[in-house]
Structure 1
Amino acid sequence: MALNSINTNAGVNSAKDNGAIWAIAQNQRADVSALDSVKDSLQRGQSTVDVAISAGETISDLLNQMKAKALAGADVSLDASSRTAMANDFVALKQQIIKTIASASFNGTNLLKTAATALYSLADASGSSKLTVGAQVMGLANTAGAILTFSIGATFTSAATASAMVTNMTNSITAVNAAVAKLGTGSKAIQTHLDFVSKLQDTMTAGVGNLVDADVAKESATLQALQTKQQLGIQALSIANSSSSALLSLFR
């Protein structure tokens, strides 16, 4: 037992050594292993949210550019040809927003598209607790649940309609920035929980070690004592054999 404990650095190698401690350690090992799955789930969730954040930031930038085009188009001194050019740029930017929303997917999950649902990541080893990040639908105004205030056909043909688009862009920018902020909070929450799970896993692993690892110094002392006892026994037997041989020689 002592030699095995030193070789393996474990005082409890099987249920035969200490059934109760072995069972506790095995349960803890199972939880430590399960936490790997929790971390994988959290990391996938964070990547999904971070992709949505990047897309949301891009959309915010595009909306700022659309607002600038609409504002330029609202200038009453602008000639029709120039206003049309501004409107064409406005529509092109809108199409980029649509493509950005469609591309904001990770591992098959898109938190920005129409009908997007909340993201759920594992939060504990039992699988019963989930960390939730809500979807932020950034579709155009004619789609369900959308936060953008202009429709897919939005454009302007006059100073008045361009001015109306400035208001739409302002409202949309405010809504998108608020949505991206919520996603940012969600990503931070996932990272905080991921850090906690990693620390918990390290602590549990150390706890298993405390339960089953051998006291090497103590086991070494025990082994040395056994070896010394064995050597003394061998020496005593050798002396006894030598004495017997000496006595027998007297009768020769």
Structure 2
Amino acid sequence: MALNSINTNSGALIALQNLNQTNSELGVVQQRINTGKKVATAKDNGATWAIAKNQTAASQSLNSVKDSLQRGQSTIDVALASGDTVIDLLGKMKEKALAASDTSLNTASFKALQSDFHSLRDQIIKAVDNSKFNGVSIANGKTTKLTFLANADGDSFTVNAQTISLAGIGLTDGETFTDAAGAKGAITKIAGALQSATNKLASLGTSSAGLDAHLSFVGKLQDSLDAGVGNLVDADLAKESAKLQSLQTKQQLGVQALSIANSSTSSILSLFR
């Protein structure tokens, strides 16, 4: 038989313990709903929090890798654009040399074709000299290769430079012809330069495709890391919402139970009437 005492109310103590437990659980659920995370601090789950922080750091470091690879893409794209211009100009130079190889031309016509040839040659020099991104070129012969970040460990992705300047494709800065025979010889040289330029641009195109593929991989890797961290620390809000309503009901019942337990001692007063 339970002891009737005004000093110790066991029922009220038990009801208070249960209410405190419910309030504690309710606080946890409310925090998860507010933050969207089931593990927001090391206090929630030290091991999981540490893993999540390390993986988050790895994911964030990949932003630098992506930036580096994108700079590489831009550098190659500028070189390819310059190369397209060079090929177009070489085609026009070949056309002028072919026209100048016609022995029936008068002197004025020959001189005009020669002048056009020189102008096209000089345009190639300018196009290659200006093929820079962020002050760097892999087309003018001043750089042999460029390295970009490949992963968060600092490993590199190397792109070999391809010189498409006149010297790089077998011509000279003073390339010219002085007569029809010389113009005919220039046709052969320019044809060789065209072949060399296209081969070099094909190599740059392959490097660009490699950068694109690796950049796509890095993006997918970053997404996977972020998703993995989310699986570790994110709260299931649908589940937490249902739990919130359950705990709120439990809290109300706990308050009522505590009220009933506190009022039970008042019945002792009736013994003294």
User: TM-score w.r.t. structure 2 length?
Assistant: 0.83
Partner letter of residue 132 of structure 1?
T
CA RMSD of aligned residues (A): 2.0
Instruction: Report the Cα distance in structure 2 between the residues aligned to 1:241 and 1:149, rounded to whole angstroms.
Output: 102
2:110: which partner in 1? 83
Aligned equivalent of 1:131: 157
Provide Cα deviations, 1:29-52, integer angstroms capped at 9, x if missing partner: 011101111111111110110000
Query: Identity, % of aligned pairs?
Result: 54
For residue 191 of structure 1, what is the amino acid of its counterpart?
D
Q: C-alpha separation between the residues in 2 aligned to 1:236 and 1:57?
A: 84
**Greater relative contact order structure (CA < 8 Å, 6+ sep):** 2
Indicate the residue corresponding to 2:5 in structure 1.
none
1:7 maps to what in 2?
34
Shift of 1:118: 1.2
Residue number in structure 2 paired with 1:120: 147
Give a deviation string over 1:176-213, Cα, whole Å, max 9, x none: 11111111111111111111111111111010000111
Question: 2:196 is aligned with what amino acid?
Answer: A
1:153 aligns with 2:174: yes
Does the 8 Å contact 2:124/2:166 carry over to 1?
no
SS in 2 for 1:10: coil
Report whether the alignment pairs 1:186 with 2:207. yes
Once residues 53 and 178 of structure 2 are traced to their aligned partners in structure 1, the CA distance between those partners, rounded to angstroms, is 72
| Structure index of larger Rg | 2
1:230 lines up with 2:251 in the alignment: yes
Q: TM-score, length-normalised on structure 1?
A: 0.90
Aligned-residue offset at 1:140: 2.5
CA deviation after TM superposition for structure 1 residue 80, in Å: 2.3
* Alpha-carbon separation, structure 2, partners of 1:155 and 1:132: 37
1:222 and 1:155 map into 2 onto residues whose CA distance is 85
What is the aligned partner in structure 2 of residue 98 from structure 1?
125
2:78–2:132 contact (8 Å) kept in structure 1: yes
Please show how residues 63-74 of structure 1 align to structure 2 within 5 Å.
Answer: 63-74=90-101
Task: Give the aligned residue type for 1:114.
Answer: G
Q: Deviations over 1:213-242 (max 9, x none)?
A: 123344445544544443223212322444
> How much does 1:139 deviate?
2.4
The CA distance in 2 between the partners of 1:110 and 1:171, in whole Å, is 23
* Structure 1 segments of 4+ aligned residues over 6 angstroms from their partners: none
The aligned runs of 1:165-184 (5 Å cut-off) are 165-184=186-205
More divergent stretch after superposition (76-85 vs 58-67): 76-85
User: Unaligned stretches of 5+ in structure 2?
Assistant: 1-27
C-alpha distance in 1 between matches for 2:238 and 2:108: 90
38, 62, 67: which one pairs with 1:40? Answer: 67
Amino acid across the alignment from 1:59: V
- Deviation of 1:248 after TM superposition, in Å, equals 3.9
| Superposition deviation, residue 26 in structure 1 | 0.7
Report SS of the residue matched to 1:131. strand
| Alpha-carbon separation, structure 1, partners of 2:179 and 2:258 | 116
Change (3 A) 1:215 1:121: same
- Check conservation: 2:89, 2:124, Cα contact below 8 A: yes
- What CA distance in whole angstroms lies between the structure 1 residues aligned with 2:135 and 2:229? 38
Partner of 2:19: none
CA deviation after TM superposition for structure 1 residue 244, in Å: 4.7
- Match of 2:172, SS state, is coil
